[in-house]
C-alpha cells in the first residue's frame, strides 16, 4: 500500500509516456502516430503535476478564509502544464492538417509508403 | 526487428527514469519558489488564484510566448490549407442536420458562451482563466458548425479580434515598462482582495487571452472543416 | 528614458507586437505587409549593435514583471546573447528584403507573419535566462518552421514537414520531462539558480535530465543521430526559408545545447563525447553531400557537416577553441544564407534543382553566380573570405592542445574539408565551364534580390580581411560560456 | 482513496493501450478521449483544478473534435 501511495502517479504518468513512445516508434499509420504524440504529452503533464503535489494538500486558491498556506500544493508545475497543454494542442492541429494534406497528395497515410524523400 | 529495438530503447530509458525518480519523492514539499508564490502572491499581485498570478504575473512572459504559439498554429493551418487546393468549387449539397441536434445546439450555444466568458473574467478569483474559457467558447462555435452546416464565422472579425487581443497584452506590458521600469509590471491598483475589480492588469490580460484563444481555436476548426 | 529604450526585452516584444499587427496593417493596404518584418528586424539590428559595447563591459540582466530572478523570468543579455541577436537580426533583415519579390504565391500575409515570428522565437531563445521560457521560445521557433517548410504544401514540403514535426515533438516531450526532473530536484527553473546547485554530473538523477535536454534540443541542432529530418526539410522549403533554417534555426538549437552543457550543467567531462560526435557528424554530412545531385540537398548536408565542425570546435573547451567555433558559426550563417539565396534565385530561373541544369549560369546570371562562388569559397575556408580565419583558429586551437588525439581528429576534419571543396568545385565548374556558348541571354535580377546578396558578399570579404574586428566580442563570448561561475554570479546577486 | 486512484490509473493505461491497438482509428480516438478525461480527473485529485479544466476543455473536447474532423477527411481504418 505504501508503495502504491508513493509511486502510483509516477507509474501512470510514465506508463502513458512509454505507450506513447512505443506508438511513435512502431506504428505506421500517421493518425496513429499523432494519437501517440497526444498520449505522450498527457503522460508528461501528469508527471509534472505529480511533482508539485503535497500529501493532503489543497489547491493553491484562496477561495475561502481559513485555508492554510502551508498545505497548498506547488502552483508552478500547474502553470507550466497550462502552458504546455496549449502548446500541445497547437502542434496537434498542425500535425493533423499536414496529415490531411498528405492524404490528398498520396492517397495513403502509411508512413512506410510515403517515401518520396530519402537519404 | 523494429519492435525489438524500440522495446530495448524504451527499457533503457525506463531504467534511467526509475533511478532518478528516487530523488523526487512524491507528496513532499520541496520547492522554495512555489512556497514564495503562495506566501507572497496575494499581496504582490492581488489575485486569490495563485496559479493565475504565476501564469500572468510571475511567469507572464511564458504566457505571451504561449499565445504566440497558438497564433502560429492558426496561421500555419490557414497557410497550409490555402495553397494547392484544387478549385473544383462544386457547391456541396448542404444536408440539414436533424432537428434534435439543431435545437439542442441552438439552446446550448448562448449558455456555453456565457460560461466561457464567466470563466475567463473570474480567472483571478476562481479556477479557470483565459485558456479554459477560450476553449469553451471555441467548442460553442464547434456546435454551430455541427448543427448548421454552411454557416461560417466571419474571418475578418476573428482576425481583428486576434490581433487586437495580442496587441493589448503587449501594450499593457510596455506601459509597465514605461511606468515601473520592467516589462509586464503590474501598474494598476491591486484593489480589494477577492473582488472582481482587483489584481491590477491580470483580469484585463485574461479577458484578452480568452478572446484570442477562443477566436484562434475557432479559426483552426473553421479552416479544418471548410477549407480542407 | 534612453536606458529604457535600450532594454533587451524590446528585442523580443517589438517584433512580436508588429507581427500581431500585420493583419491590421493588411486591412489598410495589402502592399505594406511585406515591409513590416524588415522594419522590425532593422530595429532589432540597430538596438543590438548599440548594445554590443555596453554588454562587453557588463552583461545586462532584466527581471520581467519586477520580480527578482529565482522568482520571476529574467533575460540575460551577455556577449553571447547579443552576438546571436545581432546575427539573427542581420540575416533576417537581408532575407526579408529578398523575400519581398521572391514570395509570389500563396498566403503571403501569413508567410511574412510566420517568418517574423520564427526570428522572434530565435531571439527569445538566445536571450532568456529561464529554462522553461527557453522551451517556450524554442517551440515558437520550431512550430513556425514546421508551418513554413510546408508553405507551398506540395508533395515534398508536406512530407518533410510532417517528419520534422514528429521528430521535433518527441524532442520537446523529452525537454519537458527533463525540466520536470530538474524542477523536482532543485525547485527552481532559473538556469543560473539550477547551475549554482549542480556541482557534478556523476549522479544518474542529474545525468538523465542532461541527456534528455541534449536529445530534445539536439533534434533542432541536427547533431548526428538526430538529423534525419534536416536534408528533407531544408531542401523542400522555399529557398528564403532554407536560408533562415540553415543559417539561424540550427545555430539557435546548437546555442541551446551549448548553454545547457556549459552553463547549466558545467559538464566538461561530457565534452569528450561531443568531440567524437562532432567529427562523426562532419564526416557523414560531407560524404552524403558529395553524393547528391540535388543542389539544395547538397547544401543541406553541407550544413550538417558545418554543424559538426562547430560542435567539434566548441568541445575543444579552451577560449581559443570556443571563440573559433563561434567564428565558424558566424561564417556558416553568412555563407550558407548567401548560398541558399543565390541558389534559390537560380532555381527560380532554371526551374530545376538538379545541378546539371545550372550549366552556363555563370554567363546568364553573372552576379548571382559570383555570389554563389564567394559563399562556397568562404565555406571551404579559402582566403580572403571569413571562412579562412575561422577555420585557421579551429586548427590552431586543436594543435595547441598538444595531444595526439586532437591531432588525429583535426586531420579527419581537414580531410572532410577536402571533400567539401571537391563538391563545391564541381558545382562551380558546372556554373562557369559547361554549357553551350550561344544562348547568352542576360536577364537582370530585381534589385531586392541582388542587394541582399551583395551585402552578404561584402560582409564575408570584410570579416575575412579584418578578422580582428570580431576578436573582442568572440573572446568575451567564449569566456562567458567557459566561466559559468561568473554567469551565475551576474544573475543571482 | 488510493484504491480509487489506482483503479483510475489502471483504466487510463488500459484505454491508452486500446488506443494503440485498435485498427479503427475513430474508436482509437474515443479511447484517447477517455485517457484525457481520466487524466483530467487525476489532475483534479492532485489539487490542480485549473489544469483539470484545461485538460477537459482542450484535451478531451477540442482535440477529439479535431481528430474526428481529420479522420473524416482521410481514412477511417488503418491498413
> Region B130-153: what's the mean pLDDT?
85
Residue B91 has pLDDT above 60, yes or no: no
Sketch the domain layout of chain B as residue ranges. Answer: 2-227
**pLDDT value at position C6?**
76
B neighbour chains, 3+ CB pairs within 8 Å: A, C, D
Residue with cell 502513458: A16
Mean pLDDT of C225-237: 87
Residue C474 scores a pLDDT above 60 = yes
Interchain pair C136, A83: CB under 8 A: yes
- The rounded percent of chain A whose pLDDT value lies above 90 is 37
User: Are C181 and C267 contacting, i.e. CB atoms less than 8 angstroms apart?
Assistant: no
Cα distance between residue B78 and residue B71, in whole Å: 11
List, for residues C365-374, the tens digit of each pLDDT value.
888 889 999 9
Put simply, whether A82 touches C (Cβ < 8 Å) is no
Mean pLDDT of C258-279: 87
What average pLDDT does chain C have? 88
**Residue C293: burial class (beta carbons within 10 Å; 0-12, 13-18, 19+):** exposed
Domain hosting A20: range is: 2-106
Task: State how far residue B112 is from chain C, nearest Cα, in angstroms.
Answer: 28
Which residue range forms the structural domain that includes residue D67? 2-73
Confidence of residue C432 (pLDDT cuts 50, 70, 90): confident
Dihedral sign for Cα atoms in the order C262, C268, C274, C275: positive
* Each residue's pLDDT tens digit, A4-63: 777 888 889 989 999 999 898 888 889 999 999 999 999 999 999 988 888 888 888 887
- Tell me how many degrees the CA angle C246-C117-C295 measures, rounded to the nearest 5: 25
Tell me what the mean pLDDT of segment B148-166 comes to: 82
**Contact present, C306 and C332 (Cβ < 8 Å):** yes
**Which tens digits make up the pLDDT trace of B15-61?**
888 888 777 777 777 677 888 888 887 777 778 888 888 888 888 88
pLDDT value at B126 more than 90: no
Dig out the grid coordinates for C95 from the structure. 532575407
> Per residue in C99-149, pLDDT tens?
888 888 778 888 999 999 999 999 999 999 899 999 999 999 999 999 999
A96 with B224: Cβ contact below 8 A: yes
Under 8 Å CB pairs connecting chains A and D tally to 139
Q: What is the pLDDT of residues B96-121, one digit of tens each?
A: 778 888 888 888 889 999 998 998 88
Percent of chain C having pLDDT more than 90?
Answer: 41
Split into its structural domains, chain A has a count of 1
List chain A residues with CB under 8 Å of B45: none
- Substitution target in A91, A92, A93, A95 with the highest count of C β-carbons within 10 Å is A91
Please report, for the domain that includes residue A96, its CATH number. Answer: 1.10.287
Give me the residues of A, 13-52, that contact D with CB < 8 A.
15-16, 19-20, 22-23, 27-29, 31-32, 34-36, 38-39, 42, 45-46, 49-50, 52
CA dist., res. C212 & res. C175, Å (int): 6
Name which of A3-12, B91-100, C257-266, C450-459 the model is least confident about. B91-100
Strand partners, A110: A29
Q: How far apart are CA A36 and CA A16, in angstroms?
A: 9
Total Cβ atoms within 10 A of residue C486: 13
Instruction: Identify whether C384 is preceded by a cis peptide bond (ω within 30 of 0).
Output: yes
Mean pLDDT to the nearest integer, B72-91: 73
Q: Do B224 and A54 touch (CB under 8 A)?
A: no
Residue C253 has pLDDT above 90, yes or no: yes
Where are chain C's structural domains?
2-491
pLDDT tens sequence across C27-47: 888 888 889 999 999 999 999
The pLDDT assigned to C436 comes to 64
- The confidence score (pLDDT) of residue A117 equals 60
Q: What is the pTM of this model?
A: 0.94
Q: How far is CA C258 from the centre of its chain?
A: 13
The Cα of B26 is separated from the nearest Cα of chain A by a number of Å equal to 6
pLDDT at A65: 72
Q: Strand, coil or helix: what is B45? A: helix
The one-character DSSP state at A69 is G
Question: How does pLDDT run across D11-65, given as a tens digit for each residue?
Answer: 999 999 999 999 999 999 999 999 999 999 999 998 888 899 999 988 888 999 9
Rounded-to-integer distance, Cα C127 and Cα C120, Å:
11
Mutation site, C147, C163, C169, interface A, largest A CB count within 10 A: C169
Q: Is the predicted pLDDT of residue A119 greater than 50, yes or no? A: no
B219: chain C residues, CB-CB within 8 Å: none
> Which pLDDT does position C441 carry in this prediction?
62
Task: Judge A/B contact: 3 or more CB pairs < 8 A.
Answer: yes
Which residue has cell 551565475? C488
For chain C, the three-class secondary structure string (H helix, E strand, C coil) is CHHHHCCCCHHHHHHHHHHHHHHHHHHHCCCCHHHHHHHHHHHHHHHHHHHHHHHHHCCEEEEHHHCCCCCCCEEEECHHHHHHHHHHHHHHHHHHHHHHHHCCCCCHHHHHHHHHHHHHHHHHHHHECEHHHHHHHHHHHHHHHHHHHCCCCCHHHHHHHHHHHHHHHHHHHHHHHHHHHHHHHHCCCEHHHHHHHCCCCCCHHHHHHHHHHHHHHHHHHCCHHHCCCHHHHHHHCCHHHHHHHHHHHHHHHHHHHHHHHHHHCCCHHHHHHHHHHHHHHHHHHHHHHHCCCEHHHHHHHHHHHHHHHHHHHHCCCCHHHHHHHHHHHHHHHHHHHHHHHHHHHHHHHHCCCEHHHHCCHHHHCHHHHHHHHHHHHHHHCCCCCCHHHHHHHHHHHHHHCCCHHHHHHHHHHHHHHHHHHHHHHHHHHHHHHCCCCCCCCCCCCCHHHHHHHHHHHHHHHHHHHCCHHHHHHHHHHHHHHHCHHHHHHHHCC
Q: What residues have CB less than 8 Å from B150, skipping those under 6 apart?
A: B94
Q: Tell me the chain B residues in contact with residue C124 when contact means C-beta distances shorter than 8 Å.
A: 65
Q: Is residue C421 predicted with pLDDT exceeding 60? A: yes
Decide: helix, strand or coil at residue B47: coil
Mutate to test the interface with D, among A9, A43, A68, A96 (most CBs of D within 10 A): A96
Closest CA to B92 of B44, B35, B150: B150
Tell me how far apart the alpha carbons of residues C175 and C172 are, in angstroms, rounded to a whole number. 5
Other CB atoms within a 10 A radius of the CB of residue B158 amount to 20
Query: Under a CB-based contact definition with an 8 Å cutoff, are residues A94 and C165 in contact?
Result: yes
Amino acid at each position: 500500500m505504501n508503495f502504491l501511495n508513493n509511486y502510483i502517479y509516477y507509474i501512470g504518468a510514465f506508463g502513458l509516456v512509454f505507450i506513447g513512445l512505443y506508438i511513435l516508434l512502431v506504428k505506421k499509420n500517421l493518425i496513429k502516430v499523432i494519437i501517440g504524440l497526444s498520449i505522450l504529452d498527457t503522460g508528461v503533464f501528469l508527471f509534472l503535476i505529480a511533482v508539485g503535489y503535497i500529501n493532503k494538500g489543497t489547491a493553491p486558491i484562496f477561495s475561502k478564509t481559513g485555508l492554510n498556506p502551508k498545505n497548498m500544493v506547488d502552483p508552478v508545475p500547474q502553470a507550466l502544464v497550462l502552458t504546455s497543454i496549449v502548446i500541445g494542442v497547437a502542434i496537434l492541429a498542425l500535425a493533423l492538417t499536414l496529415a490531411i494534406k498528405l492524404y490528398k497528395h498520396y492517397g495513403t497515410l502509411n508512413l512506410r509508403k510515403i517515401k518520396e524523400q530519402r537519404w | 526487428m523494429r519492435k525489438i529495438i524500440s522495446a530495448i530503447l524504451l527499457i533503457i530509458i525506463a531504467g534511467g527514469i526509475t533511478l532518478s525518480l528516487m530523488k523526487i519523492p512524491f507528496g513532499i514539499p520541496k520547492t522554495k519558489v512555489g512556497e514564495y508564490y503562495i506566501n507572497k502572491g496575494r499581496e504582490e499581485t492581488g489575485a486569490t488564484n495563485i496559479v493565475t498570478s504565476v501564469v500572468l504575473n510571475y511567469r507572464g512572459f511564458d504566457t505571451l510566448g504561449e499565445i504566440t504559439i497558438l497564433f502560429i498554429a492558426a496561421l500555419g493551418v490557414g497557410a497550409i490549407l490555402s495553397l494547392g487546393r484544387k478549385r473544383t468549387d462544386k457547391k456541396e449539397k448542404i444536408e440539414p442536420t436533424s432537428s434534435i441536434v439543431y435545437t439542442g445546439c441552438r439552446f446550448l450555444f448562448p449558455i456555453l458562451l456565457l460560461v466561457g466568458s464567466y470563466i475567463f473574467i473570474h480567472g483571478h478569483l476562481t479556477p479557470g482563466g483565459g485558456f479554459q474559457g477560450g476553449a469553451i467558447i471555441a467548442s460553442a462555435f464547434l456546435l454551430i458548425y455541427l448543427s448548421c452546416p454552411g454557416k461560417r464565422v466571419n474571418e475578418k472579425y476573428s482576425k481583428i479580434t486576434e490581433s487586437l487581443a495580442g496587441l493589448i497584452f503587449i501594450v499593457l506590458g510596455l506601459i509597465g515598462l514605461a511606468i515601473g521600469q520592467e516589462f509586464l509590471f503590474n501598474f494598476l491598483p491591486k484593489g480589494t482582495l477577492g473582488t472582481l475589480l482587483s489584481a491590477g492588469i491580470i483580469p484585463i490580460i485574461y479577458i484578452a487571452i480568452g478572446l484570442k484563444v477562443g477566436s484562434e481555436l475557432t479559426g483552426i476548426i473553421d479552416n479544418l472543416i471548410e477549407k480542407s | 528614458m534612453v536606458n529604457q529604450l535600450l532594454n533587451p526585452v524590446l528585442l523580443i516584444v517589438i517584433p512580436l507586437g508588429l507581427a500581431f499587427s500585420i493583419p491590421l496593417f493588411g486591412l489598410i493596404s495589402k502592399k505594406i505587409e511585406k515591409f513590416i518584418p524588415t522594419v522590425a528586424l532593422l530595429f532589432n539590428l540597430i538596438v543590438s549593435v548599440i548594445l554590443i559595447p555596453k554588454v562587453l563591459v557588463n552583461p545586462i540582466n532584466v527581471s520581467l514583471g519586477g520580480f527578482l530572478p529565482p522568482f520571476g523570468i529574467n533575460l540575460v543579455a551577455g556577449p553571447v546573447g547579443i552576438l546571436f541577436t545581432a546575427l539573427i537580426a542581420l540575416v533576417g533583415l537581408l532575407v526579408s528584403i529578398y523575400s519581398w519579390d521572391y514570395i509570389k504565391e500563396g498566403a503571403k500575409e501569413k508567410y511574412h507573419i510566420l517568418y517574423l515570428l520564427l526570428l522572434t522565437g530565435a531571439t527569445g531563445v538566445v536571450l532568456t535566462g529561464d529554462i522553461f521560457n527557453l522551451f517556450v521560445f524554442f517551440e515558437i521557433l520550431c512550430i513556425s518552421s514546421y508551418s513554413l517548410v510546408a508553405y507551398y504544401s506540395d508533395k515534398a514540403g508536406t512530407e518533410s514537414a510532417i517528419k520534422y514535426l514528429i521528430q521535433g515533438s518527441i524532442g520537446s516531450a523529452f525537454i519537458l520531462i527533463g525540466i520536470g526532473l530538474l524542477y523536482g530536484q532543485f525547485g527552481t527553473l532559473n538556469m543560473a539558480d539550477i547551475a549554482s546547485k549542480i556541482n557534478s554530473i556523476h549522479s544518474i538523477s542529474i545525468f538523465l535530465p542532461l541527456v534528455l535536454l541534449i536529445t530534445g534540443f539536439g533534434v533542432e541542432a541536427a547533431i548526428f543521430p538526430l538529423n534525419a529530418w534536416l536534408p528533407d526539410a531544408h531542401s523542400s522549403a522555399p529557398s528564403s526559408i532554407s536560408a533562415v533554417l540553415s543559417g539561424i534555426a540550427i545555430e539557435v538549437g546548437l546555442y541551446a545545447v551549448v548553454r545547457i552543457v556549459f552553463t547549466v550543467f558545467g559538464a566538461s567531462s561530457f565534452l569528450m563525447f561531443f568531440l567524437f560526435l562532432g567529427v562523426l557528424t562532419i564526416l557523414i554530412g560531407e560524404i552524403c553531400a558529395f553524393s547528391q545531385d540535388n543542389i539544395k540537398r547538397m547544401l543541406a548536408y553541407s550544413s550538417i557537416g558545418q554543424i559538426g565542425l562547430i560542435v567539434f570546435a566548441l568541445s575543444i573547451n579552451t577560449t581559443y577553441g570556443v571563440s573559433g567555433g563561434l567564428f565558424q558559426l558566424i561564417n556558416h550563417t553568412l555563407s550558407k544564407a548567401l548560398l541558399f539565396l543565390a541558389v534559390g534565385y537560380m532555381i527560380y530561373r532554371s526551374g530545376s534543382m538538379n545541378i546539371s541544369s545550372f550549366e552556363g549560369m555563370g554567363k546568364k546570371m553573372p552576379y548571382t553566380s559570383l555570389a554563389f562562388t564567394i559563399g562556397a569559397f568562404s565555406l571551404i575556408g579559402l582566403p580572403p573570405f571569413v571562412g579562412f580565419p575561422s577555420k585557421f583558429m579551429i586548427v590552431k586551437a586543436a594543435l595547441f592542445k598538444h595531444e595526439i588525439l586532437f591531432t588525429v581528429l583535426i586531420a579527419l576534419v581537414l580531410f572532410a574539408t577536402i571533400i567539401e571543396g571537391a563538391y563545391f568545385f564541381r558545382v562551380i565548374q558546372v556554373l562557369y565551364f559547361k554549357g553551350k556558348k550561344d544562348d547568352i541571354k542576360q536577364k537582370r535580377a530585381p534589385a531586392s534580390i541582388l542587394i541582399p546578396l551583395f551585402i552578404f558578399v561584402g560582409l564575408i570579404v570584410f570579416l575575412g580581411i579584418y578578422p580582428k574586428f570580431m576578436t573582442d566580442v568572440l573572446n568575451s563570448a567564449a569566456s562567458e560560456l567557459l566561466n559559468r561561475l561568473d554567469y551565475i554570479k551576474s544573475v543571482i546577486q | 482513496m488510493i484504491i480509487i486512484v489506482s483503479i483510475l490509473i489502471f483504466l487510463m493505461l488500459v484505454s491508452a493501450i486500446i488506443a494503440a491497438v485498435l485498427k479503427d482509428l475513430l474508436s482509437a480516438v474515443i479511447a484517447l478521449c477517455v485517457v484525457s478525461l481520466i487524466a483530467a480527473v487525476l489532475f483534479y485529485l492532485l489539487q490542480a483544478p485549473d489544469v483539470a479544466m484545461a485538460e477537459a476543455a482542450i484535451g478531451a473536447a477540442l482535440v477529439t473534435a479535431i481528430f474526428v474532423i481529420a479522420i473524416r477527411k482521410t481514412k477511417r481504418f488503418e491498413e
